[in-house]
Structure 1
Amino acid sequence: MTKITADGPMKSPSRLCHVVLRTKPDNYRAMVDWYLAFLGGRVVWGNERLSFISYDDEHHRIAITGFPDAVPRAADAAHSCGMAHVAFAFDSLEDLLTTYLRRKRLNITPSWCVNHGPTTSMYYADPDGNEVETQVDNFETNEEATAFMEGPEFKVNPMGVDFDPGDLIRRLESGEPDKDLKKRPQSGPRMTR
């Protein structure tokens, strides 16, 4: 049986996954086009406000979103143009949850825990207020994650469904399979946090 514990050294992420950039709506198309050209990328999913871009077999490496009320970061970091967050991946849900407990022991707690569908993610704020995401992939292959992102559930809700990490820990420790824990619950429309 799995035991999630705060004991032991901090587990390092296994890789850097993606970067999300926030921009003003009148600059949105130029930003998307620039990243497509710069990376030799493709839009995996996009609309007039949000695009997920990949340049390899990952479901996305860059996301660009246009916010009507975006202002320069120095004025209002929560609604500003620029990088929204950087993400780091773990190889397993157990690693993600173990690290959550170890960070919590250091009074570093997430501001948002969400199952996006392709990933189960926890967001943290650094001392300057920049967001850092830690995540675990929810699908066995990148092709499965991309198929989910191209499907009807993601079109209605590309943001995800919030979760309680304590609940996930209890369920994992009780023997519930990872695959079941990482499956995103059904939800209605959601385009914002």
Structure 2
Amino acid sequence: MVVDFNATAGQVISPSKLAHVVLRTNNLPAMVAYYTMFLGGQVIYENEMLAFISYDEEHHRIALLGAPGTQPKQKTSCGLEHIAFTFDSLSTLLLAYRQRKQKGISPLWPVNHGPTTSIYYRDPDGNMIETQVDNFDNPAAATDFMKSAQFAENPIGTDFDPEDWIQQISDGKPEAELMKREEVGPRGLPDFF
């Protein structure tokens, strides 16, 4: 492939994937323990100031930097709002929720956004983590929903009870029925944002 590096730029070339996220912390040991447990991951490399964690084929998905002078997270400051991880099915998302619950990790917010069904958590530093499953069979269908009047009326979503959904799935209710968002009308952000 011959690349013309001097060609006039139209649209910038998109990356092929998101490789990793680096979080700065003042509590490296607790954050390493949390993320390895939360992700079912492993530490690939760690020293007194860095840790690289992976849960798949990538050499690291989360890096933790224990930097001197790091101050506690301020809820109202600019910056990363959350990191999101996708699961292949609603049952797998809910199983991971149950496994985390057994290990003392409680969810912050279960919500069906419409395009995704999500369960949010907070790490020891106060960063939010979203675990999600796609509610549509393909990205185009999710995009169409996000362009709909229903989504415009409520782009936040509808809360749900993971324990209730686990029971419904156990009783034979199809995942697809649960993943169709219940419409509740206009809604603002929850208080913890």
Pairwise same-fold verdict (TM > 0.5): yes
Aligned to 2:79: 82
- Listed one character per residue, the Cα deviations across residues 89-141 of structure 1 (whole Å, up to 9, x for unaligned) are 00000100111010000000110000000000000100000001100010111
Counting only pairs closer than 5 Å after superposition, residues 62-141 of structure 1 correspond to structure 2 as 77-141=74-138
1:51-100 residue CA offsets vs partner (Å, 9 max, x unmatched): xxxx89xxxxxxxxxxxxxxxx9576322200000000000001001110
Rate the CA distance shift 1:109–1:152 in 2: closer, same or farther, 3 A.
Answer: same
**Deviations, residues 123-168 of structure 1 (Å, cap 9, x unaligned):** 0100000001100010111111000001001111111011110011
Structure-1 residue corresponding to 2:162: 165
Give unmatched runs, 5+ long, in structure 1: 1-36, 42-54, 57-72
Using the size of structure 1 for normalisation, the TM-score is 0.61
Match of 1:50 in 2: none
Q: Higher relative CO (CA 8 A, sep ≥ 6), structure 1 or 2?
A: 1
- Write the letter of the residue equivalent to 2:187: R
Aligned-partner Cα distance in 2 for 1:105–1:145: 32
Query: 2:121–2:128: 8 Å Cα contact kept in structure 1?
Result: yes
Q: Larger Cα Rg: Structure 1 or Structure 2?
A: 2
Give the 3 Å change call, closer, same or farther, for CA 190–38 of structure 1 in structure 2. farther
Cα distance in 2 for partners of 1:77, 1:177 equals: 41
Residue type of the alignment partner of 2:85: F
- Alignment correspondent of 1:61: none
Q: 1:39 to 1:83 in 2, by over 3 A?
A: farther
In 2, Cα distance between equivalents of 1:117 and 1:149: 8
Contact 2:73 2:125 in 1 (8 A): no
> Are 1:182 and 2:172 matched, yes or no?
no
Distance 1:184 1:40 in 2: 34
Structure 2 gaps of 5+ residues are 1-9, 17-69
> TM-score, normalised on structure 2?
0.61
Number of aligned positions between the proteins: 128
- CA distance, structure 2, for counterparts of residue 39 and residue 137 of structure 1: 27
> Structure 1 residue runs of 4+, over 6 Å off?
none
Residues 39 and 82 of structure 1, relative CA distance in 2, 3 Å threshold: farther
For residue 187 of structure 1, report the CA deviation from its aligned partner: 1.4
SS at match of 1:83: coil
Q: Which residue of 2 aligns with 1:68?
A: none
Q: 1:156 aligns with which of 142, 153, 158?
A: 153
